[in-house]
Amino acid sequence: MSKAELENGIRVEAIDTLTKAVAEHYGIGVDEICILSASEFAIPVLDADRNESWVKVSVTVPRGTRNGNGGYTPYNPYGIAKDYAQELADRQAKQDAREAKKKADAEARAAKKAAKQTIKELNKKGLKAMIHEGE
């Protein structure tokens, strides 16, 4: 068998297994699953508000990337997963930094407002009255 035929067999088996598992999980019949192509299917689902929506699933058997010598560099899901985890960590760090800056800015605004209020009170009472207060 050729490599393409072997990969096609893997994809067909995966789609068959996934459609059965998805149908069982969501309590729907296999006939309710829409086969969109040789590598895709869609299932009807309900959101939290009971609105109907769809989930589209694609199944591929990746070969990797072309290496320029007529072959492929093998597909490395571990490296891709590691890169994605790092990307998520970077996003979270940026989000945390934005929230910390927002909090610091809010605290600075509150301190500035309090200082203005103190100055306003000083101006109302008069500086001399405050100096001689309690005499």
The predicted model scores a pTM of: 0.62
Specify the pLDDT at position 86.
97
Which residues on neighbouring strands pair with residue 65, listed in sequence order? 73
> How would you write the pLDDT of the chain (135 residues) with one tens digit per residue?
888 899 999 999 999 999 999 999 988 888 899 999 999 999 999 899 999 999 999 999 998 888 888 888 889 999 999 999 999 999 999 999 999 999 999 999 999 998 888 888 777 766 666 666 666
pLDDT of residue 9: 93
Using a 10 angstrom Cβ sphere, with 0-12 exposed, 13-18 middle and 19 or more buried, the burial of residue 3 is: exposed
**Tokens standing for residue 22:** 């998805």
Residue 70 has a pLDDT of 83
SS3 76: coil
Nearest CA to 15 among 56, 63, 74?
A: 56
Check if the beta carbon of residue 56 is closer than 8 Å to that of residue 36. yes
